[in-house]
């Protein structure tokens, strides 16, 4: 099987400052993968380079074995940006946001067709937010906003979707809902790469993980990759990894110490 999306010896940076180099990464059809690393580690730059939004300093990105040209994002790739980069005060409805992803499908007319509207509404239903179609995007909850932008990424019928920190501003319940939704879409054949710093969600929901800090530290099954040494190299701090059957729980060393101290206290002081 050939990779659907591939980075070969990729290096990127801004002005005179390098962000990462020598990145080799292959994503295969039907894969569901998480890109984890601390803030400022280059995850967003890597995603933008894979999309063709950032021109590499060296190396290349290939989609279906064809070299990707910077500034020419293939239509068969969907993208969900970080919520912090979106102007939530812009006067647009959820349905209109989704239809923005149909513009490249329109050949002769600048306005959405009846079919465009039907597809947009169906995707809002598919991601569970059809009831907010006519509401302003700024009025929606964080979880609803993420689902609307996921629908926009899907409206072009992509082969792969890249999501940049889709759960960063969501509470735990919304995080799990979104990850379950992504797993359902993946089971239907969609290839997905998402970046996150939430290690426990990745360990629970994703079968493949890429530890990243200005380059790939390790990648593979979370059970194999999430070790104290790998996480220390990735995040620059000591972490405790607990295995409970096929589940993994990860905590910072100070969190673990506090938990141990708390369990050793008399019940009245806990």
pLDDT tens digits along 41-91: 999 999 999 998 899 999 999 988 888 876 565 558 899 988 767 777 888
Q: Which residues pair with 60 in a beta bridge?
A: 8
Query: How many whole angstroms separate alpha carbon 216 and alpha carbon 211?
Result: 6
Query: How many whole angstroms separate alpha carbon 240 and alpha carbon 200?
Result: 12
Q: Domain check: are 217 and 194 in the same one?
A: yes
**Domain closes at, from 204, 222, 240:** 222
Q: Domain check: are 70 and 195 in the same one?
A: yes
pLDDT tens digits along 29-40: 999 999 999 989
Is residue 148 over pLDDT 60? yes
Q: Domain check: are 7 and 133 in the same one?
A: no
Residue 171 confidence (pLDDT): 67
Cα atoms in the Cβ-side hemisphere of radius 13 Å centred on 197: 16
Residue 70 confidence (pLDDT): 60
Q: Which of 63-77, 129-143, 232-246 has the highest mean pLDDT?
A: 129-143
Kind of pairing, strands 5-14 and 58-63?
antiparallel
Is residue 256 over pLDDT 80? no
Q: Which residues pair with 194 in a beta bridge?
A: 34, 163
Q: Domain check: are 68 and 14 in the same one?
A: yes
Domain enclosing residue 135, as ranges:
84-157
* CATH number of the domain that residue 22 is part of: 3.40.50.300
The residue behind tokens 């890429």 is 210
DSSP 3-state of 101: coil
Q: What global pTM score does this model have?
A: 0.84
Query: How many whole angstroms separate alpha carbon 172 and alpha carbon 104?
Result: 35
Asked if residue 193 is part of any domain, the answer here is yes
Q: Domain check: are 180 and 145 in the same one?
A: no
Count the helix, strand and coil residues of the chain and give each as a percent rounded to the nearest 5.
40, 25, 35
């Amino acid at each position: 099987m050939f990779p659907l999306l591939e980075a070969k010896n990729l290096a990127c940076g801004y002005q005179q400052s390098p962000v990462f180099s020598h990145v080799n990464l292959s994503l295969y059809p039907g894969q569901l993968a998480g890109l984890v690393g601390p803030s400022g580690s280059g995850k967003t730059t890597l995603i933008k380079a894979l999309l063709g939004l950032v021109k590499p300093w060296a190396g290349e990105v290939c989609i279906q074995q064809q070299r990707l040209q910077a500034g020419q994002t293939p239509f068969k790739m969907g993208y969900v940006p970080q919520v912090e980069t979106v102007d939530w005060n812009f006067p647009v409805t959820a349905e209109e946001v989704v239809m923005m992803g149909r513009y490249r499908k329109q050949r002769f007319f600048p306005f959405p067709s009846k079919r465009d509207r039907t597809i947009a509404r169906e995707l809002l239903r598919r991601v569970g937010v059809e009831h907010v179609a006519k509401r302003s995007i700024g009025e929606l909850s964080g979880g609803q906003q993420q689902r609307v932008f996921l629908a926009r990424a899907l409206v072009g019928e992509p082969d792969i979707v890249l999501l940049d920190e889709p759960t960063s501003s969501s509470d735990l319940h919304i995080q799990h809902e979104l990850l379950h939704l992504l797993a359902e879409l993946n089971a239907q054949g969609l290839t997905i790469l998402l970046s996150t710093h939430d290690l426990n969600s990745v360990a629970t929901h994703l079968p493949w993980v890429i530890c990243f800090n200005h380059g790939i530290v390790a990648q593979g099954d979370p059970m194999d990759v999430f070790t104290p040494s790998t996480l220390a190299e990735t995040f620059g701090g000591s972490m405790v990894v607990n295995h409970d059957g096929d589940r993994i729980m990860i905590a910072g060393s100070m969190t673990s110490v506090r938990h141990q101290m708390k369990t050793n206290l008399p019940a009245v002081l806990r």
